[in-house]
């Protein structure tokens, strides 16, 4: 199992914006130093709690300082942008990173963003698919392109001058394009099957209850089989809220308290998603009444916290419940206590994951 990093991020809205950006930058630089293999960054335009407004721009600020880690978007909200712009920006990032880039795409889950960009009352999934199809066609095509769908028209026919390079969109370093991933929260997601059939891989969000997460693997394997790809969970990434400390009581107090940074995170996310008609994501069992779903329950059932040995056991139990997956994405939360958060990331990389993989290796040897 590989270890990666994921951040939306979510911070108190009143926190100094500069400090938020510095903190997220520092976290990814630390992840790079500690050997985390990937770092995925979200983006939102209209949210002061989730204020990275361009994950591509944020990645560009890190490229020359974080030299080993592979960067990913989670996700570029395609319905909000013109596909030709995205094609050009992603091509530049892929070249800036020397191919250390994964293109995460999504329809956008933040309703205020959808409202801002006039996409609140349309089928955003359909618009996302129309966008990525056009992006891929631009990269695979030749100028002047002459592409058209129900949302956009792309052409440089009137201005093309190949001799001087005008009218030509740059292409990614990775051929035919960077790996594509999609984020998913929906139980029994048919989107995961469709994505896998197209050669893409899923990221399951950290705030989805484990019994729903377990429904994603069969849908992924179904899509892999349709595409003739190797049918295993190695390409599946699963994000999880995890906190590791040297003291069990301190770990639980920091990560399980409603007043702590993990409590703030889940309160914020639950308010958004329950208000968006998705209370089922937080149910401890499928038919739990919604009035029984509480913040305290989510912290108790959806956050892994404790000492190294405790966290190892909880990760192994989580994997046993949801099935085989290839990459565990440690989810970044607000650094209410920076020393504790740095220590947690360090313990996760140097102590927890080696023991998890040792245990998985021993388990495999007995099968």
CATH number for the domain including 197?
Answer: 3.20.20.30
Structure tokens at 62: 């890190």
Domain count, the chain: 1
Pairing of strands 147-148, 153-154: antiparallel
Q: Which two tokens stand for residue 263?
A: 């409590």
pLDDT of residue 275: 82
Structure confidence at residue 363 (pLDDT):
57
Q: Does residue 104 lie within any of the structural domains?
A: no
pTM: 0.97
**Average pLDDT of the residues in 119-126:** 95
pLDDT in tens, 50-70: 999 999 999 999 999 999 999
From 251, 235, 232, select the one nearest 243 (Cα to Cα): 251
The pLDDT value recorded for residue 202 is: 98
Residue 326 lies in a domain: yes
Tens-digit pLDDT profile for residues 340-354 = 999 999 999 999 999
To the nearest whole number, what is the mean pLDDT of the chain?
96
Model confidence band, residue 331 (pLDDT cutoffs 50, 70, 90): very high
pLDDT greater than 90 at residue 265: yes
Residue 127 placed within a domain: no
- Residue 16 resides in a domain: yes
What 3-state class would DSSP assign to 122?
Answer: coil
Confirm whether 131 is domain-assigned: no
Q: Kind of pairing, strands 70-73 and 153-154?
A: unpaired
Residues 146-185 have pLDDT tens digits of 999 999 999 999 999 999 999 999 999 999 999 999 999 9
User: DSSP secondary structure string, 273-290?
Assistant: HHHTT-GGGG-SSTT--G
Q: Does position 293 have pLDDT exceeding 70, yes or no?
A: yes
- Region 256-265 average pLDDT: 98
Residue 8's domain comprises 2-74+179-365
Residue 102 located in a structural domain: no
């Amino acid at each position: 199992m590989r270890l990666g990093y994921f951040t939306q991020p979510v911070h108190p809205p009143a926190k100094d914006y500069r400090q938020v950006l510095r903190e997220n930058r520092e976290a990814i630089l630390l992840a790079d130093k500690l050997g985390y293999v990937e770092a995925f960054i979200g983006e939102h335009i209209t949210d002061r709690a989730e204020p990275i407004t361009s994950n591509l721009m944020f990645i560009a600020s890190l490229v020359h300082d974080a030299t080993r880690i592979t960067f990913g978007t989670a996700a570029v909200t395609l319905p909000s942008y013109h596909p030709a712009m995205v094609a050009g920006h992603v091509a530049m990032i892929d070249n800036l990173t020397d191919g250390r880039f994964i293109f995460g795409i999504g329809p956008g889950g933040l309703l205020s963003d959808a409202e801002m960009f006039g996409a609140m009352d349309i089928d955003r999934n359909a618009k996302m698919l129309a966008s990525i199809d056009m992006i891929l066609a631009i990269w695979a095509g030749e100028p002047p392109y002459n592409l058209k769908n129900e949302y956009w028209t792309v052409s440089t026919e009137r201005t093309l001058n190949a001799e001087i390079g005008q009218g030509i969109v740059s292409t990614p370093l990775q051929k035919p394009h960077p790996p594509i991933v999609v984020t998913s929260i929906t139980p029994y997601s048919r989107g995961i099957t469709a994505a896998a059939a197209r050669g893409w891989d899923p990221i399951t969000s950290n705030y989805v209850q484990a019994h729903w997460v377990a429904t994603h693997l069969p849908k992924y394997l179904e899509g892999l089989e349709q595409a003739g790809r190797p049918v295993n969970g190695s390409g599946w990434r699963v994000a999880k809220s995890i906190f590791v400390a040297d003291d069990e009581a301190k770990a639980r107090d920091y990560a399980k308290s409603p007043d702590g940074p993990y409590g703030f995170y889940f309160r914020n996310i639950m308010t958004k998603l329950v208000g968006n008609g998705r209370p089922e994501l937080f149910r401890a069992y499928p038919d739990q009444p919604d009035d029984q779903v509480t913040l305290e329950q989510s912290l108790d059932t959806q956050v892994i916290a404790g000492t190294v040995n405790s966290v190892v056991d909880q990760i192994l139990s989580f994997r046993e419940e949801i099935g085989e997956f290839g990459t565990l994405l440690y989810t970044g939360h607000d650094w209410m206590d920076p020393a504790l958060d740095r220590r947690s990331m360090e313990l996760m990389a140097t102590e927890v994951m080696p023991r998890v993989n040792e245990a998985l290796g021993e388990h495999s040897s007995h099968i």
